[in-house]
Amino acid sequence: MELLQSNYTNNSSSSGSEDENSGETIRSEPLPKPFEVFDKYQITPNVKKYITNAEMNFTKGRWTSFVFIEFRNNATQRAALDKLLPRINELLRPVDVEFKSLYTSELGSPQPLHISLSSNIEFSTSAELDRFSRMLTVELRQKLTKGFDVAFGPQLRVHANSDKTALFLTMECVDTVRCNQISLISSVVHEAVDYCAAEEPNSKNMGKLDPALAHMSVGIDTTSRATRNSTLRGGSWSDFFGLKLTEVNTALASLYLDADFLRMFQFHCGGVKITKQRANIWVPFE
């Protein structure tokens, strides 16, 4: 308790101390929070685009996991995205699509972005989930002995969720990263999923994503559902949504991100994260 108390000022003290000689007030900086705290009490990334009623998984006897590369953006990167989104929305106004930020919450607090390495993986028992996370950790450490640099291409694209209820504005990983490191990680994930399925034949698991589509979502469309409810009059929603997706990507084809912007978002990946219940497991490569 003494150690914890030493990290905080008591109620009677002020937020700063005054230098007796100079008369200036010296304010102490708050201690940084360790990343372990974020992972221990982490709400998983946006996996709702892969499964419905995810909040009911535990009550229905489902145990899920998700593999991803996390990108913790800084203030400079968020400011660059803040300038980009209005340009995108202005460009897409004729097709009635508007994107909102995924890198900040509705209250304005920063949120990490991610590159999906699997879809949502569903297991029927907690033992299966434990087996999957252990095997994946061992295999990744054996096959990836060092980290790698992640870079993005100059063109933005839009992808849809499996339920066709939302559109996601994405930065596309370059082909060299997709075809090498991400493809390797994806194959390891598939092997681990297949192994757990062999151990428990009744398991319902998915998990497979095409590494050629690896991307990082930075925005989410907020008008698709409203468009669906107001525009369709007994028509096919699937056909309409597919047409909407084509229109958006056609409109985006004329916009290219400049080299300085892309350089700003390059980062080194030293490991991946695996969601397990309400926590994240960090698997380092190096």
Taking only the tens place, the pLDDT of each residue in 35-71 is 555 555 555 565 444 444 444 444 455 788 889 999 9
CATH number of the domain enclosing 182 = 3.90.1140.10
pLDDT beneath 50, residues of the chain: 1, 3-19, 47-59, 203, 226-227, 230, 233-234
SS3 48: helix
- On whether residue 246 sits in a domain, the answer given is yes
- On whether residue 57 sits in a domain, the answer given is yes
Residue pair 121/262 in contact by the 8 Å Cβ criterion: no
Q: What is the pLDDT of residue 128?
A: 83
Whole-angstrom Cα distance, residue 152 to residue 174? 5
Whole-angstrom Cα distance, residue 28 to residue 23? 16
Whole-angstrom Cα distance, residue 82 to residue 93? 17
- On whether residue 135 sits in a domain, the answer given is yes
Task: Find the domain containing 240 and state its range.
Answer: 48-277
Q: What is the pTM of this model?
A: 0.75
Total structural domains in the chain? Answer: 1
Buried b (16+ CB within 10 A) or exposed e, 87-108: ebbebbeebebbbebbbeeeee
Whole-angstrom Cα distance, residue 227 to residue 248? 14
